[in-house]
Amino acid sequence: MRIDRTSLAALLGAVFFLSSSGSAAPGAIHGHLAELLAELDQEMVPTGILYDRVLSLSALEDHDGHPGSPPVTPPRWRQMVHELGHASLEPPTWPDPKAIRALGSEAFREGVVPLAVLSVTYDRIRPEALEDGTLALRGRRLVVTEGDALVRSRAFAVTALKDDTYRGDRVVFILDPRCAVTNDPEPLPSLDIDFADGRGFRTVRFGERCEVRWDRPGLKEIRVRARRADGSTDHGNFSFHVRSLRVPSPDDTVSITATIPYEGQHGTGEAYVYLADGHASLTNPIVVVEGFDLENSMNWEELYELLNQEGLLEILRARGFDAVVLNFTEATDYLQRNAYVLVELIQQVNAAIGPSANLAVVGASMGGLVSRYALATMESQGLPANVRTLLAFDSPETGANIPLGLQYWLDFFSETSTEAEFLLSRLDTPGARQMLLYHHTSPPAATGESDSLRTVFLSDLAALGQYPVVPRKVAIANGSGDRDDQGFAPGDQIVSYEYQSLLVDVIGNIWAVPDGDDRLIFHGLLDFLLLPPDEILVSVSGTLPYDGAPGGFRGSMAQMDSTEAPFGDIVALHDDHCFIPTISALSLDVTDPFHDIAGDPDLPARTPFDVVYFPAENQPHVTITPQSVAWFLVELSRGATSVASALPSSPAGLELLPVAPNPFRDGTELRFRTGNASSVAIDIHDVRGRRVRTLLGGRVFGPGLHSVPWDATDGDGMPVASGVYFYRVRTPDRSVSGKLLRRE
């Protein structure tokens, strides 16, 4: 029987892999390896690295320095480092992938992109060694019978730890020695790099910063050469995406440290100040709060591009609004701790403006939840916020969703894949544990359940009264209000990963959570020749079908599909899953993720928000569309002072305008704008959801501004009692709601 290189690597790596995929301590793992490789001591492995000790996901052998080597992405480079570290007979001297990732995040904040270099010589067992008898498997040990069973190989790979930029007209790279992984006796002093900027190859020394300027955006193929003392040359390459040439710089960047601690620690962040045209200082600020940043890699450039979808940020600036964008130092930290950072920022903004302060706060994704907590805290402590509007943009008001089966997949494969390990670590951060509706457990629970940190957070939020009272509260969702699903039913399989061979069987299948009944959501199997199988089946019952529900979606399964697997192919049967359920973004007091939002006549009474927006179809999470941008502009302008052109000139669709007066006593005017001719119906409801009055049953209006009076009477012409009422304006393709207050 001929055993090829990949199969041999699987056999030799099996003991390590199976031990580490469970709960074995490092000593146990090393004990298994010592038993298997007892005859292959340090003297027989002159490089100190026996690559067959690991399962390879990185295809390291393809990166041997020849000119045709494939491009190296940051995840693949980190996987190479991960594998070479575990293949080392002694602890390696270079930093591990976690440390290198942290170094990269630190450099990104300083506007620098580190270039990571791997230059390693390693040993591996000749593919023919078992066949020709040089190597024999005796019991649980590999024994060298005669001759040389090993062959020496080289690996050379270079990549940028951040593979894109929004400032292509000036990018600063650095060959950081701390991001160099090598066992060469004489480390390379420099590299020759062609940045595809028209200048050809240039020599860049380690520790040296290199400024690169491109004159047009696009995907750049960057080539690298390493000239060695023996006259040989290693070649490598990587891609770098120039998404734009220039992003406007903020007018100021302010460091923020919370004065209120949480669990004994003070949160920190930085605020980017981007003033309106003609402003020399803060005048009409809109404070924007970032969301859940997995790697803390979103800085000014990334946040600017996110906020300026459909030109929103620049339109606001042209109309006299200043942007103050809060970037947390650790966006995955406790929500309470980051909320206190926002409290400090709001206080500093108020101090800078003085008594005339009149703020709007926008929280994107997690930022909406943090903003809600911060403003509720300020009200509970009697701290003036001077916030007129709180706008929550696709925020997990009642929870976020990552498929539970996918979480168990990451857990099962985390010891082999450095990216799976990293993503799992992000799911286990305080912020994720506080937001996720279902969180993986060890051992797996029989039903979906949230983490204990979420229980604490919800209790803290309830103690604050759930929502701030003073500001107008607006929710904008990316999820469908028309019960549009994500393309699959509860319990459907969403990822297929199966591989079978003589030496190894691998399974990693994922199903969506069921709708109450008992269903399998994850099946993981690692079955290697000569070793007992490692298998896990996770079934749950009593769950709500969040995975395929209406909501702002995330392409997690598509991301898995693009990941290289050690054996076989990971297939996404569906690309996207619900990330922020629509019922969560609108904070509806319903439990059914498929609730008929658009058809609910009691919708205003089901939400604490004064006004809500939702599209007919699901959209990517935190996407601003031509339809929703008009909502942003109207709501952020509402109540503002000293700004020009407060309302957009020609919004499409149906838009609610401020009710005047509100509060009222004898009557008020309901105002709205239509983008085209449409039939309009308007109903008034009380807080219990009962219809009090139909103002319009379906009257046709042309495009433009319109108003409909309400004299504060019910359908029988009797005056209504004082209190809160809701109005709902409907057209054939849209439904929007608002809140009214009648006083005696």
Domain boundaries, the chain: 5-242, 252-394, 404-457+485-579, 650-744
Q: Please state the rounded mean pLDDT for residues 118-137.
A: 81
Hey, what are 430's tokens? Answer: 């305080």
Share of the chain above pLDDT 70, in %: 89
Which has the minimum average pLDDT: 42-56, 228-242, 304-318, 424-438? 42-56
What per-residue string of b and e applies to 353-390 under the rule 16 or more CB within 10 Å gives b? Answer: beeebbbbbbbbbbbbbbbbbbbbbbbeeeeebbbbbb
Least confident residue range of 3-12, 316-325, 357-366:
3-12
Mean pLDDT of 417-438: 93
Nearest to 188 by CA among 121, 240, 237: 121
Q: Provide the pLDDT for residue 33.
A: 42
Rounded alpha-carbon distances, angstroms, from residue 548 to 6, 403, 479, 528: 37, 9, 11, 35
Q: Cis ω on the peptide bond leading into residue 177 (within 30° of 0)?
A: no
Query: In this predicted structure, what is the pLDDT of residue 295?
Result: 82
Q: Judge contact between 635 and 391, C-beta under 8 A.
A: yes
CA 610 – CA 739 distance, rounded (Å): 5
What is the share, in percent, of the chain residues with pLDDT greater than 90?
Answer: 59
Residue written as token pair 């896990």: 536
Instruction: Answer yes or no: are the C-beta atoms of 718 and 681 closer than 8 Å.
Output: no
Which pLDDT belongs to residue 499? Answer: 86
pLDDT of residue 473: 94
The predicted structure's pLDDT at residue 521: 97
| Identity of the amino acid at 615 | P
pTM of the model: 0.80
Task: Scan for tokens 């700004």, then name that residue.
Answer: 643
Lowest mean pLDDT among 163-167, 274-278, 508-512, 733-737: 733-737
Average pLDDT score over residue span 145-162: 87
pLDDT by residue (tens digit) across 164-178? Answer: 999 999 999 999 999
Q: Quote the DSSP letter at residue 461.
A: H
Q: What is the rounded CA–CA span in Å between residue 643 and residue 268?
A: 31
Q: Is residue 581 scored above 80 in pLDDT?
A: yes
| Separation in Å, CA 417 to CA 10, 79, 192, 293, 501 | 15, 7, 31, 21, 21
Q: Which pLDDT value is given to residue 642? A: 56
Count of CA atoms in the C-beta half-sphere (13 A) of 494: 34
Q: If you compute the radius of gyration of the chain from its CA atoms, what whole number of angstroms results?
A: 29
Question: According to CATH, what is the number of the domain 650-744?
Answer: 2.60.40.1930
Question: Which distant-in-sequence residues (6+ apart) come within 8 Å of 84 by Cβ?
Answer: 49, 51, 60, 92, 118, 120, 122, 155, 181
Is the confidence at residue 489, as pLDDT, over 60? yes
What is the reported pLDDT for 501? 75
Average pLDDT, the chain: 87
Instruction: Give pLDDT tens digits for 204-246.
Output: 999 999 999 999 999 999 999 999 888 889 999 999 999 999 8
Cα–Cα distance measured from residue 722 to residue 743, given in angstroms and rounded to the nearest whole number: 5
Q: Which two tokens stand for residue 18?
A: 């199976």
State residue 557's pLDDT score: 93
Confidence of residue 133 (pLDDT cuts 50, 70, 90): confident
The residue among 607 and 661 whose pLDDT is bigger is 607
Give the Å distances, CA to CA, from 127 to 5, 130, 380, 698, 732: 5, 7, 70, 78, 69
**DSSP calls for 216-266:** S-EEEEEEEEEE-TTS-EEEEEEEEEE--S--PPPSEEEEEE-SS-BTTB-
> What is the tens place of the pLDDT at every residue in 457-473?
999 999 999 999 999 99
CATH topology of 252-394 equal to that of 650-744? no
Q: What are phi and psi of 52, to 5 degrees?
A: -70, 0
| Arithmetic mean of pLDDT, 429-449 | 96
Closest CA relative to residue 577, chosen from 476, 675, 492: 492
CA gap 402, 411 in Å, rounded: 13
Phi, psi of 488 (to 5 degrees): -150, 160
Crossing angle of helices 418-427 and 97-109, rounded to 10°: 60
Q: What are phi and psi of 638, to 5 degrees?
A: -60, 125
Task: Give the best-scoring range by mean pLDDT among 76-85, 698-707, 723-732.
Answer: 76-85
**Among 134-138, 185-189, 340-344, 733-737, where is mean pLDDT lowest?**
134-138
Span 256-263, mean pLDDT?
A: 97
Reported confidence tier of residue 740, pLDDT bands at 50, 70, 90: confident
The mean pLDDT of 67-92, rounded to a whole number, is: 90
What's the CATH number of domain 252-394, 3.40.50.1820, 1.10.3720.10, 3.40.630.30, 3.30.70.660? 3.40.50.1820
Is it the case that residue 10 has pLDDT exceeding 60? no
DSSP letters, 661-684, are SSSBSS-EEEEEEESS-EEEEEEE
Average pLDDT rounded to a whole number, residues 614-629: 92
Closest to 372 (Cα-Cα) out of 333, 353, 346:
346
Lowest mean pLDDT segment, chosen from 84-93, 332-341, 700-709: 700-709
Higher pLDDT, 178 or 657: 178
So what's the pLDDT on residue 147? 65
On whether the CB atoms of residues 436 and 450 are closer than 8 A, the answer is yes
Please state which of the ranges 35-44, 301-310, 450-459 shows the lowest mean pLDDT.
35-44
Describe the strand order of the beta sheet including 734-742 as a list of residue ranges.
252-257, 268-274, 322-328, 285-289, 359-364, 387-393, 472-476, 611-613, 734-742, 723-731, 678-686, 691-701
Q: Residue range 583-596: average pLDDT?
A: 96
Q: How many CB atoms lie within 10 A of CB 721?
A: 12
Q: How many CB atoms lie under 10 A from the CB of residue 108?
A: 20
